[in-house]
């Protein structure tokens, strides 16, 4: 799966002019209504080493590719409001992709209702696609998660679900794009043909 997604993503590799990203101050974060913030809802202040990302784009290219909300969340590590985002209550069968690079990140079969107002998953589709960095900002200790292929901020991961299930990957909808199962199966078949020539 890793080789397949990277082969598809490799066609969109760009030269970079930005090696790291540092989010702006928390006061500039997307705001939630009073009483709605949880550990998921606070912005991330982790500095991600973008030189490790396989897909790199200039800031102008990111802004052209993403909607303003997607850019704020995925590239500036801000947080969308809970219960007012695209996927918190979505129950369709399919796969969630990164908005930054179209890498498949989470399967709907691992999605669950966490009560936080953000889509939550027990585990990533492919562990190597989701990086984790310790976030000790805002007087808290959290683990920020991001796409390892393009560096886009996804959300945070927590150890507050039964260990047998996995973890709670609390993810911003703005960092995701959903593909229904039949479209995903067709995409995998097409990508296999492209990468193997068969």
Give the CATH number of the domain where residue 156 resides. Answer: 2.170.150.20
Alpha-helical (H) ranges within the chain are 2-9, 59-65, 68-70, 181-196
Q: Is residue 154 domain-resident?
A: yes
DSSP state of 54: S
- CA 190 to chain centroid: 24
- Position 26 in a domain: no
- Does a structural domain hold residue 178? yes
- CA dihedral sign, ordered 125, 112, 133, 66: positive
For residues 45 and 23, the answer to whether their CB atoms sit within 8 Å is yes
Instruction: Give me 120's structure tokens.
Output: 């939550």
Helix (H, G, I), strand (E, B) or coil at 144: strand
Range of the domain at 155: 2-6+47-196
> pLDDT by residue (tens digit) across 101-143?
999 999 999 999 988 999 999 999 999 999 999 988 777 888 9
The pTM of this model reads: 0.78
Residue tagged 């078949």 (tokens): 189
User: Is 20 domain-assigned?
Assistant: no
Closest by Cα among 81, 63, 64, 60 to 72: 63
Q: Provide the domain count of the chain.
A: 1
User: Cα-flanking dihedrals φ and ψ of residue 167, to 5°?
Assistant: -135, 175
Residue 80 confidence class, pLDDT cut points 50, 70, 90? very high
Cβ atoms 122, 169 nearer than 8 A: yes
Residue 39 falls inside a structural domain: no
pLDDT digits (tens, 9 = 90+) for 151-189: 999 999 998 887 788 999 999 999 999 999 999 999 999
User: In this structure, is residue 81 part of a structural domain?
Assistant: yes
Q: Which residues are catalytic?
A: 170
Domain-located, residue 27: no
Query: Tell me, what's the pLDDT at 105?
Result: 98
**How distant, in Å, are the alpha carbons of 71, 75, 124 from that of 67?**
6, 11, 24
C-alpha count within 13 angstroms, C-beta hemisphere, residue 175: 29
Residue 14 lies in a domain: no
Exposure b/e, 31-59, CB count within 10 A at least 16 = b: ebeeeeebebbbbbbbebebeebbbbbee
| CA diameter of the chain | 55
Which of 14-23, 39-48, 123-132 is the least confident region?
Answer: 14-23
Residues contacting residue 137 through CB under 8 Å, at least 6 positions apart: 26, 44, 45, 46
């Amino acid at each position: 799966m890793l080789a397949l997604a990277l082969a598809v993503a490799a066609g969109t590799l760009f030269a970079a002019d930005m090696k790291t990203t540092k989010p702006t101050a928390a006061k500039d974060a997307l705001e939630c209504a009073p009483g709605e913030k949880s550990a998921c809802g606070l912005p991330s202040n982790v500095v991600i080493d973008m030189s490790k990302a396989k897909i790199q784009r200039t800031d102008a290219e990111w802004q052209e590719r993403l909607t303003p909300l997607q850019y704020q969340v995925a590239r500036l590590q801000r947080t969308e409001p809970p219960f007012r985002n695209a996927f918190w209550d979505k129950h369709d069968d399919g796969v969630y992709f990164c908005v930054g690079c179209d890498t498949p990140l989470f399967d709907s079969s691992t999605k669950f209702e966490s009560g936080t107002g953000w889509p939550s998953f027990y585990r990533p589709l492919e562990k190597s696609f989701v990086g984790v960095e310790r976030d000790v900002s805002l007087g808290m200790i959290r683990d920020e998660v991001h796409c390892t292929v393009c560096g886009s901020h996804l959300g945070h991961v927590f150890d507050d679900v039964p260990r047998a299930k996995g973890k709670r990957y609390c993810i911003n909808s703005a960092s995701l794009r959903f593909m229904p199962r039949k479209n995903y199966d067709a995409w995998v078949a097409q990508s296999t043909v492209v990468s193997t020539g068969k």
